[in-house]
Structures are given as structure tokens and as C-alpha cells.
Amino acid sequence: MFVHRHSDGKEQFDAALSAVHASPDIVALGKDGRGDERFTSRDMIETEQRLENATVRLDASRRHGVDEQHRKLALTRAEMRGMVLSAEQRSAFDHVTKVQGISVVVGYARTGKSAMLSVAREAWESAGYTVRGAALSGIAAENLEGGSGIASRTIASLEHQWKQDRELLTPRDVLVIDEAGMVGTRQMERVIAEAEKRRAKVMLVGDPEQLQALKAGAAFRSVAERHGSVEINNGGYPVNHLRSRIKALSERLTC
């Protein structure tokens, strides 16, 4: 656990653990599968609840669908370039271009997520939407843009612009967040809440190997579990194996 890893000896560990138990801001979650005690803060619980409320409202908005004409047009253009989506890519494409205000795609690297996103971008744009991309790191944002053609930047940069009332989202925007599993709960809540406020669509894309965020929380995992996801798994793993890997990884994560 965190206290054990960051304590210098038993005496400091005991003192720190006692302080944790005594704090009114700390909530005990019980023991995990390995028998370690888990804790969270009241602030984190409130943040997670706000995130859930915002995602529920987004999911219920049902106003961002792409009609069959524009979907077929995007698929035809892709085929003319020699890009034919696999069954899983097509399933993901169909999922993200439906009417719901939030969509989640889970898949390993090099399984064709970028190709699917490039076709989805064409479908969205032909239907009159503006597609914007974001990721935690600059490199990830560059990779998203290079692989899908979606103009992308870091989440921090987006948030900075929003604070200045610049480049605000609109109901005609689709925001694609890549490597979403690396985004902490607090930052994810801010971004989702802003999108919900502006009535934009959000698409989360993440790797099951990245289900643990760099900062506190596991927002991507939570949203995927509560609102469902579609999988792209062309890397040689059966779908059932992928699901078991996700479950096993999730059980090891720190709350």
C-alpha cells in the first residue's frame, strides 16, 4: 500500500497509518484481493460522483449520431484508399458513430484503433461535426493526430484554453481522448463535465494495459465498466482472453 511503500521504517509506518485511520477526510474501503487495506478520500468520492453524473447525462443526451449515408460515404472513401475495416474495427466504428454522447473503445496498441478513428473522423466531419483530439502527453497527442488525422493537443493545453474562454466546445464537436486510461479521475471529471456543459460528444480510447491512471483514481476503467465499451482486439488475443486480462488487471489496481 502507499503508506508502506513510502515509510522509512516501522515506526514511521505505524505513525502514518494511525494518522490515516484518524483522519475525518479518509474513508476505509476494506481489503483488496491481496489482503491489503485500501483507502480513499471524501474529496475523491465526491469527484467520482460528479464524473458519474456527467457521464450519465452525456450518455442520455442522444444527439450526436451519424446517419447511414455519411457512414457509408466514409467507409467507401476508406476502401478506395485500400483501407477495409476488420469486423472488430467496423463494430467499433458503428458504436462510436451512434447517437450517445459518450463512447468507449478498449484495445491494445497496434490493433487498428487509429485506422478506425480516421474513418470515424471522416464520417463525423461529413455529417457536419468538428473532431478534436486530446491526450495526456504531447507525444500521445501527436500520435493520435498522425494516425487518425484528428487535430490534437494535450489535455492540459485544452484546459488552459477553456479557462481563458477560448476554443470552447460546442454541440457540434466530438472530443476524442486517446490513452484515456492514463488520465486521473480529477482531470477526467473536469474534461467530461466541460463537454457535458457544452453538449459535446466524448469518445474515450484506451489500452487495457494502461487501466491504472498516472494520478489518483481509475476513471477510464470506471466509465468503461458503468457505460459499456467496444473492443478492438486484432493483436492475436481472443476476446474472452482480453476480458480476463482486463479483469485481472483491474483487481490489481489501487483505488
Q: Give residue for cell 469527484.
A: 47
Mean pLDDT is highest, among 43-47, 129-133, 211-215, for: 129-133
**Residue 162 Cα distances to 130, 147, 157, 170, angstroms:** 17, 26, 9, 12
Question: Residue 125: how many CB atoms within 10 A of its CB?
Answer: 17
Which tens digit of pLDDT belongs to each residue from 157-210? 999 999 999 999 999 999 999 999 999 999 999 999 999 999 999 999 998 666
CB 104 within 8 A of CB 230: yes
pLDDT value of residue 170: 98
Weakest mean pLDDT among 8-22, 61-75, 240-254: 240-254
Q: To 10 degrees, the CA torsion angle through 27, 28, 32, 36?
A: 120
Distance CA 230, CA 232 (A): 7
**Residue 193 Cα distances to 136, 148, 161, 188, angstroms:** 17, 25, 15, 8
CB 227 within 8 A of CB 91: no
Q: Say if strands 26-31 and 37-41 run parallel, antiparallel, or are unpaired.
A: antiparallel
Weakest mean pLDDT among 35-39, 50-54, 175-179, 222-226: 35-39
- The residue-averaged pLDDT of 232-253 equals 51
* Strand residues in the chain grouped as ranges (E): 26-31, 37-41, 102-107, 130-135, 152-154, 173-177, 201-206, 230-232
pLDDT value of residue 212: 55
CB 40 within 8 A of CB 27: yes
Q: Give residue for cell 493483436.
A: 235
Percentage of the chain beyond pLDDT 90 is 59
> Vertex 198, ends 195 and 203: CA angle to 5°?
30
Query: Is the confidence at residue 253, as pLDDT, over 60?
Result: no
pLDDT value of residue 60: 93
pLDDT value of residue 79: 95
Q: Provide the residue ranges of all domains of the chain, joining segments of one domain with +.
A: 3-31, 45-251
CATH number 3.40.50.300 given to 45-251: yes
**Residue 102 Cα distances to 13, 75, 221, angstroms:** 42, 22, 14
CB 105 within 8 A of CB 95: yes
What confidence category does residue 69 fall into, taking pLDDT thresholds of 50, 70 and 90?
Answer: very high
Q: Give residue for cell 486484432.
A: 234
